[in-house]
Amino acid sequence: MGHSPPGRHTVLSAQQPGFLRLPPLVRHLKVKVSIAEKVGLPFFLRRLRRRRMLVAGGGCYSYLFFMFGPAVFGRSKWQA
């Protein structure tokens, strides 16, 4: 990686359609583009796809909390 003078970096945010239109522009301008971070639901779900037991544990926790939470907190689950 080369060193660039201070103030020569620009940070942009793009959604998928805009990001997919970048390669022709990058080639034309002869600039370097790097991805700083990937955020959002698609990337979060991609990480969870390999962690099936984490998702299963979260589902079991939610179910048990729904079923036994009212008993712990002193309310009937069918009471308003």
* Dihedral angle, C-alpha 36, 39, 58, 56, nearest 10 °: -80
66 contacts 77 by C-beta, under 8 angstroms: yes
Q: pLDDT per residue over 20-31, tens digit each?
A: 888 898 899 888
Give the Cα-Cα-Cα angle 36, 10, 21 (nearest 5 degrees).
70
Residue type at 39 in one-letter notation = V
Q: What is the pLDDT of residues 34-78, one digit of tens each?
A: 888 888 888 888 888 888 899 899 999 999 988 887 777 776 556
Show me where the domains of the chain are located.
47-75
- Computed on alpha carbons and rounded to an integer, the radius of gyration of the chain in Å comes to 23
- In this prediction the pTM is 0.43
Residue 25, CA distances (Å) to 5, 31, 36, 73 in order: 23, 9, 19, 59
